[in-house]
């Protein structure tokens, strides 16, 4: 089953997406500079991943997730 949220790693940016994909290959076909992607079941899982992987503090990670929710878009670029 597809994940609800994906971090999409491109050559020069990191995207957070709620667009539903059937596989990583579908994501790869959508982005020319695709490197990798990681799927998550919840935004809390995304937040924990970026805190752990990027050594962000919880407050900053909360801000990134809040920005995604408030954007009302299915994809945003994460800048940190």
**What's the rounded Cα separation, in Å, for the pair 6 and 37?**
6
Q: What is the pLDDT of residue 70?
A: 97
Q: What mean pLDDT value characterizes the chain?
A: 95
Distances (CA, A) of 24 to 17, 29, 53: 13, 9, 20
Query: pLDDT (tens digit, 9 = 90+) per residue, 56-71?
Result: 999 999 999 999 999 9
Q: Is the pLDDT of residue 15 over 80?
A: yes
Q: Are 9 and 17 in contact (CB under 8 A)?
A: no
């Amino acid at each position: 089953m597809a994940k609800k949220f994906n971090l999409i790693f491109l050559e020069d940016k990191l995207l957070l997406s709620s667009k539903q994909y059937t596989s990583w290959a579908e994501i790869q076909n959508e982005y020319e500079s695709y490197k990798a992607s990681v799927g998550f079941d919840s935004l809390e899982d995304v937040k924990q991943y970026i805190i752990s992987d990027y050594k962000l503090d919880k407050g900053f990670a909360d801000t990134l997730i809040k920005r995604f929710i408030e954007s009302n878009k299915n994809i945003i670029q994460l800048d940190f």
